[in-house]
């Protein structure tokens, strides 16, 4: 029988990429045998199903949850995840997502897609509770992993005009404002051909309309207050959106239909940084121009900029041992990330033309779908320093909509 479900240790360093419910077999130690939930890759979206009706009747609309989440650890055939969508004690929907191996190798397991289920048709909006339960088939046990608070917004989309009356029907989508405080750095272990491990930064952004990247990105860092060599981020897939939560607002403007897109996008940045000692199996010629974090310990402040203006600022410390010092948010067990990943404190500009919005109250109130921030002085000080709210993250209800 495997160990009970445990959170990730921020000092474990493993390298695996995945797109959905990824699990990887941990070292032999008993405490590492249990799957690890990854708060950093959790994405919840809603797929709206629209059925048109005639006359002055608005379209009939309901939604299906679309959920992406990831685990790391040993899995076996028959293991699964249950998602319970509820309002208080009343269950609105329950979805069971079987886990399957990746290319026949149970050291890496993927879930069946936890979305587009025909038997799930919802219209509930406002705050909805979502229970995530890991099902261990061999042990015949179920372990509650997370209870999330998911804010479901109801918006109004223009259907058509009947006489002088505008007909609107509802659309539903998750509001992702509290995701913006969740950022982390991942120290990926090197492959056999890589001389050192790569460094990736992940964060959420509210890029305007359908933009998936910044127009002119750059990366600047300071170590203990001193500038480090400029690091390029202009390479292929250096800064890119890997997932999003999107609201499409359709309204009538004169005789035309116009759409505005509001979105929260999970971004990743791969600056010219590496970490760790030289991999003896790889050529040393492949990374001679890369900045090695391990060789330069200290307090870092790194900025993602667009057209010369800061859009994010990450604060973190590299220890004398060459890894990242755990932040109180992660060290206290409030947040669980993939092995080798470390929460980084994110600072925001007061003005950001590259993005549509920033909700100060939402970021201060919770993180990652309603998770509470730890009651730590450093965390309170950081949240207090956040800039004022700006912009608009969701459409306003048009006149006459109900």
Same domain for 267 and 369, yes or no, is yes
CB burial readout 342-373, b (16+ within 10 A) else e: bbbbbbbbeebebbbbbbbebbbebbbbbbeb
Domain boundary (135, 158, 174) is at 174
**Is the pLDDT score of 22 beyond 60?**
no
Same domain for 236 and 324, yes or no, is yes
**Is the pLDDT score of 5 beyond 70?**
no
Same domain for 197 and 136, yes or no, is no
User: Which long-range contacts does 281-284 make (Cβ < 8 Å, 24+ apart)?
Assistant: 281/192, 281/193, 282/190, 282/192, 282/193, 282/194, 282/195, 283/193, 283/195, 284/195
Residue 344, in any domain of the structure: yes
Instruction: Give the chain's mean pLDDT.
Output: 83
- How far apart (Å, rounded) are the C-alpha atoms in residues 374 and 360? 17
Query: From the DSSP assignment, how many helices (H) and strands (E) are in the chain?
Result: 3, 23
| CA 280 to chain centroid | 34
- How far apart (Å, rounded) are the C-alpha atoms in residues 161 and 10? 56
Residue 401, in any domain of the structure: no
- List pLDDT tens digits, range 95-122: 888 876 665 655 545 565 676 667 788 9
Same domain for 152 and 188, yes or no, is no
Least confident of 28-42, 79-93, 235-249: 28-42
Residue 183, in any domain of the structure: yes
β pairing state of 165-174 and 141-162 = antiparallel
- List pLDDT tens digits, range 325-373: 999 999 877 788 988 999 999 999 998 988 999 999 999 999 999 999 9
Same domain for 135 and 272, yes or no, is no
**Is the pLDDT score of 18 beyond 60?**
no
Same domain for 59 and 190, yes or no, is no
Residue 402, in any domain of the structure: no
Which pLDDT score is estimated for 31?
Answer: 36
Same domain for 69 and 200, yes or no, is no
Residue 149, in any domain of the structure: yes
Residue 400, in any domain of the structure: no
- Concatenated DSSP letters for 196-238? SEEEEEEEEE-BSTT--S-SSEEEEEEETTEEPPPB---STTS
Domain boundary (156, 174, 192) is at 174
Average pLDDT over residues 197-219: 86
Same domain for 267 and 325, yes or no, is yes
β pairing state of 291-292 and 273-275 = parallel
Same domain for 120 and 187, yes or no, is no
**Is the pLDDT score of 183 beyond 70?**
yes
Residue 139, in any domain of the structure: yes
Of 59, 127, 150, 151, give the one whose Cα is nearest residue 401.
59
Domain boundary (117, 151, 174) is at 174
Which pLDDT score is estimated for 90?
Answer: 96
Give the pLDDT band (50/70/90) at residue 19: very low
Same domain for 119 and 197, yes or no, is no
Which pLDDT score is estimated for 102?
Answer: 60
Which pLDDT score is estimated for 402?
Answer: 66
- How far apart (Å, rounded) are the C-alpha atoms in residues 150 and 211? 25
**Is the pLDDT score of 8 beyond 80?**
no
CB burial readout 194-204, b (16+ within 10 A) else e: bbbbbbbbbbb
Reported pTM = 0.86
Least confident of 142-146, 163-167, 355-359, 362-366: 163-167
**Is the pLDDT score of 9 beyond 80?**
no
The parent domain of residue 149 ranges over 1-174
**Is the pLDDT score of 226 beyond 70?**
yes
Q: What is the DSSP letter of 73?
A: S
- Radius of gyration of the chain from its Cα atoms, rounded to whole angstroms: 22
Give the pLDDT band (50/70/90) at residue 16: very low
Q: Which of 196-200, 239-243, 275-279 has the highest mean pLDDT?
A: 196-200
Same domain for 225 and 146, yes or no, is no
Average pLDDT over residues 224-236: 77
Average pLDDT over residues 127-150: 93
Structure tokens at 377: 């002085």
Average pLDDT over residues 179-198: 90
Total domain count for the chain?
Answer: 2
Percent with pLDDT over 70 in the chain: 83
Which pLDDT score is estimated for 125?
Answer: 96
- List pLDDT tens digits, range 23-64: 333 333 333 356 788 899 899 999 999 999 988 889 999 999
Residue 24, in any domain of the structure: yes
Same domain for 302 and 359, yes or no, is yes
- List pLDDT tens digits, range 276-319: 888 877 765 555 578 999 999 999 999 999 989 999 999 999 99
- List pLDDT tens digits, range 376-402: 999 999 999 999 999 988 888 887 676
């Amino acid at each position: 029988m495997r160990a009970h479900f445990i959170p990730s240790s921020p000092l474990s360093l493993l390298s695996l990429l995945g797109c959905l419910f990824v699990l990887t077999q941990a070292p032999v130690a008993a405490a590492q045998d249990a799957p690890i939930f990854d708060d950093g890759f959790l994405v919840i979206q809603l797929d709206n199903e629209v059925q048109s009706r005639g006359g002055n009747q608005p379209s009939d609309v309901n939604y299906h949850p679309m959920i992406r989440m990831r685990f790391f650890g040993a899995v076996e055939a028959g293991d699964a995840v249950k998602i319970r969508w509820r309002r208080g004690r009343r269950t609105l929907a329950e979805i069971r997502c079987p886990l399957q191996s990746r290319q026949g190798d149970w050291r890496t397991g993927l879930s069946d897609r936890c979305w587009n289920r025909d038997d799930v048709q919802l219209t509930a909006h406002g705050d909805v509770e979502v229970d995530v339960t890991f099902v261990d088939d061999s042990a015949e046990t179920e372990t509650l992993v997370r209870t999330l608070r998911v804010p479901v917004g109801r918006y109004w989309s223009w259907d058509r005009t009947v006489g002088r009356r505008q007909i609107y029907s509802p659309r539903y989508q998750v509001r992702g404002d509290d995701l913006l405080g969740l950022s982390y750095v991942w120290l990926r272990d090197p492959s056999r051909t890589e001389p050192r491990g790569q460094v990736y930064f992940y964060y959420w952004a509210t890029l305007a309309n359908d933009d998936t990247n910044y127009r002119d990105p750059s990366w600047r860092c300071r170590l203990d207050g001193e500038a480090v060599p400029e690091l390029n981020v202009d390479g292929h897939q250096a800064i890119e959106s890997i997932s999003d939560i999107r609201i499409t607002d359709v309204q009538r403007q004169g005789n035309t239909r116009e759409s505005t897109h509001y979105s929260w996008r999970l971004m990743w940045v791969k600056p010219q940084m590496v970490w760790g000692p030289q991999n003896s199996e790889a050529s040393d010629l492949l990374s001679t121009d890369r900045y090695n974090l391990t060789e330069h310990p200290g307090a870092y402040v790194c900025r993602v900029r667009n057209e010369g203006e800061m859009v994010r600022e990450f604060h973190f410390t590299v220890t004398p041992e060459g890894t990242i010092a755990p932040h109180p948010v992660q060290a206290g067990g409030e947040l669980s990330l993939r092995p080798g990943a470390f929460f980084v404190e994110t600072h925001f500009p007061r003005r950001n033309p590259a993005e549509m919005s920033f909700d100060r109250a939402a970021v201060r109130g919770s993180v990652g779908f309603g998770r509470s921030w730890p009651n730590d002085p450093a965390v309170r000080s950081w949240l207090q320093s956040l800039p004022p709210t700006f912009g608009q993250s969701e459409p306003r209800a048009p006149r006459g909509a109900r």
